[in-house]
Amino acid sequence: KKVIFSGMQATGIITLGNYIGALKNWVSLHEQYNCLFSVVDMHSITVRHNPAELRKRSRDLLTLYIAAGLDPEKNIIYYQSHVPAHAELAWILNCYTYMGELNRMTQYKEKSQKHEDNINAGLFTYPILMAADILLYQTDVVPVGNDQKQHLELARDIATRFNNIYGDVFKIPEPYFGKVGARVMSLQDPTKKMSKSDENTNAFISLLDEPDVIMKKVKRAVTDSDREIRYSEDKAGVKNLIDIYSAMTGMGIESAVANFEGKGYGDLKKEVGEAIVEGLRPLQTRFKELSADKEYINQVIKNNGEKASYLANKTLRKVKKKIGYPE
Ligand code: TYM
């Protein structure tokens, strides 16, 4: 079986963008692959954070992975910080990555503008840790949203460079983007991606939002001043709602558009809201049940962390040997 690796940050409750762009695809792929899904808590400290919150959010995120349908018996669902090999390989790969490459990362540029008072080295080398995450497990496929494309290309470049020097150490990973929803847009500004760190909470739907909150946020979504429901780049708000509808119902774009023929924006928003509420309902119910079962979650964290360590150390040992660390 081929290997899938992906991860999410626990900087807040994840959004519908994270769900449609990543988590939902993980669920649809996870039967055919050997999968590792990580809560990347080491990445989360590249911006200032509250320790108690990070602890809680990391646990909630890990629980959400399971609630969404990922089976921790068949997949490895774990905390990045529980596997020290990530940090070790990241250090080594630091020495095989050029400043120029990191300087070109658009996410770094955006984040350093946003966090001007804390442009730390970790924020800069963030993509190297991400490369280490992926390369440690000899990953074939990385299912992510569009915004991670550049980071993934860098991971491939680093792996190729390393292999060119030392022989075949790393598998070169391929990205996987979903058919729809690889980029879910903000409900308040459909030219921007939906982000959990948006100051305006109406801009995103959190996976744990109550049904009435979801309906309200969709109702307030920014569209445009005409009234025609068309799927087109020049109608970013409407297009985004149709994309979300299609992703949540599994209906193709054409049938989704046909479904809204002759209807108005009010109907569109109502139906999209309902599709989200219904789509998330099983996950939300399961999340509540799982959160109450502390023992079960603790056991998953322990077992799966050990499984991940075992696999990661295999690659790490090989790397250390290749670069000449004493045995
Ligand atoms: P993060 O935590 O920002 O996002 C997690 C996943 O959600 C996707 N995503 C979106 N997809 C569609 N529309 C959106 N509006 C949207 N917002 C986010 C992201 O593309 C991602 O797939 N650096 C990564 C985490 C990471 C990782 C890894 C991912 C660390 N190591 C190794 C894959 C492999 C990040 O910050 O994602």
CATH code of the domain containing 267: 1.10.240.10
Report the CATH number that the domain containing residue 13 is assigned in CATH.
3.40.50.620
**Residue 196 included in any domain:** no
Are 111 and 32 in a shared domain?
yes
pTM score, two decimals? Answer: 0.96
Are 103 and 237 in a shared domain?
no
Instruction: Confirm whether residue 147 is marked as ligand binding.
Output: yes
Are 222 and 312 in a shared domain?
no
Are 60 and 124 in a shared domain?
yes
Catalytic-labelled residue, pool 1, 24, 111, 270: 111
Taking phi over 0 as left and psi of -120 to 50 as alpha, with beta for the rest, 234 belongs to alpha
Are 299 and 278 in a shared domain?
no
**Residue 191 included in any domain:** no
Is 196 annotated as catalytic? yes
**Residue 238 included in any domain:** yes
Are 20 and 154 in a shared domain?
yes
Q: By residue range, what is the domain housing residue 227?
A: 201-288
ipTM score for this prediction: 0.99
Are 93 and 211 in a shared domain?
no
Are 272 and 312 in a shared domain?
no
From first to last of its 327 residues, what are the pLDDT tens digits of the chain? 999 999 999 888 899 999 999 999 999 998 899 999 999 999 999 999 999 999 999 999 999 999 999 999 999 999 999 999 999 999 999 999 999 999 999 999 999 999 999 999 999 999 999 999 999 999 999 999 999 999 999 999 999 999 999 999 999 999 999 888 889 999 999 999 999 989 999 999 999 999 999 999 999 999 999 989 999 999 999 999 999 999 999 999 999 999 999 999 999 999 999 999 999 999 999 999 999 999 999 999 999 999 999 999 999 999 999 999 998
Are 68 and 117 in a shared domain?
yes
Are 38 and 145 in a shared domain?
yes
Are 205 and 129 in a shared domain?
no
Distance from residue 149's CA to the centre of ligand 1 (Å) = 10
**Residue 283 included in any domain:** yes
Residues with CB under 6 A from ligand 1: 5-9, 17-18, 21-22, 40, 43, 130, 133-134, 142, 144-145, 147-148, 151, 181-184, 193-194
For the chain, how many structural domains are there in total? Answer: 2
Are 245 and 164 in a shared domain?
no
